[in-house]
Homo-oligomer: A and B are copies of this chain.
Amino acid sequence: MGKVSIKDIAKAAGVSHPTVSRALRDSPLVNMHTKTRIKDLAREMGYCPDARARSLVTGRSYTVGVVVTTIADPFVAEVVQGIESTAHDNGYTVILSSSNSEPEREIAAVEMLRVKRVDGVIVTSSRIGALYLEHLERIGVPVVLINNHNEQSGHYTYTVTVDNRHGSYLATKYLIQIGHCRIAYITGPADHSSDADRMAGYRQALRKNSIPYDPTLVVPGDGRPTGGTRALRTLIEMRQPPSAVFCYNDMTAIGVLRAAQEANISIPGDLAVVGFDDIPFASFVYPPLTTIIQPKQEMGRLAMEMTLKLTEAEDPAKLSLTDIMVEGELVVREST
């Protein structure tokens, strides 16, 4: 029951352990007869290779580290699902590590991944990532950031981000197309660059359709339902309220829906509402939410594929990779 190694098999088969090693790796160097004999023996004895030892000599661990703020965030969870799935398909294993958005914990996480000798690192939705980029580079393996702009992608550091500006351009353009001209925007947390980008897309759509930008129609939210609820209450008290609201994200939109219900505002009759993200619940609220789909699983997949290319290339510089920007997609449901 104590773990059986190739040496044990070697002894049982009456050969040397390198022969066993070659046999199990299907080397053409070993006699076909002894090869099958060794394989049978390995199966009977319940042999299980030791990845640590193998990794030690080959230098590759076939493991990637994934650093998240918290896996309990459904958005993050879907991204990780995409990562894990393609990692598995390529024979890689995922080490999960959450930072709870605490910088020192994020650094500790990266250090632990370094100790475990991962072949690459993926960091999702961390505002910290960009700031501590030097810490990330120190690890000496490829790093891919998801939804985390950093101006100077370093030697090994690349990003996969959703095109926030274009996404909210789509959303706003759609509202205009179906006849709205007083369209409000409820912002997200002030310090997120994604909020600035989404705001930019909103204004771009207005401009292209010759609708004057009215700053009083932009009210602050916080990215959570409570913020949306508060924002809508402000909006409906205006002398000339909007006929449509574009929200920083779905959570904000959910807060808007609730406030509307309380104020007896019918949706989409009196007010059209559009969100951003397409969280799993967007289609389950009432009415089901029109929103911009972030291809979360695909972003995970792309990040993982990029990591693999970087690790498996002998010279990453020759790969001439570039940062990836994914387009969101408008999905029209019943809130518009």
Question: Which residues of A does B touch, CB under 8 Å?
Answer: 1, 3, 46, 48-53, 55-56, 61, 63, 66, 70-74, 77-78, 80-81, 84-85, 88, 93-98, 109, 111-112, 114-117, 138, 140, 225, 254, 257-258, 261, 280-281, 284-286, 297
* CB pair B84 A80 closer than 8 Å: no
A88 nearest CB across to chain B (Å): 7
A316 nearest CB across to chain B (Å): 14
Contact partners of A55 in chain B: CB under 8 A: 52
Copies of this chain, whole number: 2
* CB pair B56 A84 closer than 8 Å: no
Interface centre among A116, A138, A261, A280 (most CB of B within 10 A): A116
Contact partners of A52 in chain B: CB under 8 A: 52-53, 55-56, 61, 116-117
Q: In whole angstroms, how far apart are the Cα atoms of A55 and B138 in the complex?
A: 23
Task: Among B3, B96, B115, point to the contact of A50 (Cβ < 8 A).
Answer: B115
A104 nearest CB across to chain B (Å): 12
Task: Among B81, B112, B114, point to the contact of A98 (Cβ < 8 A).
Answer: B81
* CB pair B74 A81 closer than 8 Å: no
A251 nearest CB across to chain B (Å): 8
Contact partners of A285 in chain B: CB under 8 A: 284-286
Contact partners of A1 in chain B: CB under 8 A: 140
Task: Among B49, B77, B94, point to the contact of A72 (Cβ < 8 A).
Answer: B77
Q: In whole angstroms, how far apart are the Cα atoms of A115 and B91 in the complex?
A: 12
> Nearest 9 A-B pairs (CB), nearest first?
A72-B81, A77-B77, A96-B96, A52-B52, A281-B281, A51-B115, A51-B116, A94-B96, A72-B78
A119 nearest CB across to chain B (Å): 12
Contact partners of A257 in chain B: CB under 8 A: 286
Contact partners of A77 in chain B: CB under 8 A: 71-74, 77
* CB pair B96 A84 closer than 8 Å: yes
* CB pair B97 A88 closer than 8 Å: yes
Contact partners of A56 in chain B: CB under 8 A: 50, 52-53, 56
Contact partners of A3 in chain B: CB under 8 A: 140
Contact partners of A138 in chain B: CB under 8 A: 46
